[in-house]
Structure 1
């Protein structure tokens, strides 16, 4: 079986000296965040890093909520079906 790995995205540096959207790219690519964290503290801008991370968390929470809304009915149907199987098994 052949697995297609997603292509890594390019890192975009923002004008404030931080990595801006690059953090999201690093996370999406499964990259090590250590260099970004080190850079933010060495440049004296850990608040900017925290703000970027909070923004990413909010976006991911919205994505999760949308996925839950999208699949909620299927999940309830599957649970009901499993309950029926359990009743039949007894």
Structure 2
């Protein structure tokens, strides 16, 4: 069992890999009891990973209605685009 501090140290020493990649390396090394959500949390709060991460894309959509005038008020319900970063590999 690896503690959160040990996982953070491994994350830094392996060059800040993605959660899924670090998970794969640790499983190959014989650590089957790794919590993927903890690796996801480490990636999320890692300063270096935040700096080098890709910026989130802008959510865009097009209205296809001929009856709308310029500067009309439009109310829309958009789904959340948040998805978990860690997806454990299928066994």
Q: Give TM-score, length-normalised by structure 1.
A: 0.32
Greater helix fraction, Structure 1 or Structure 2: 1
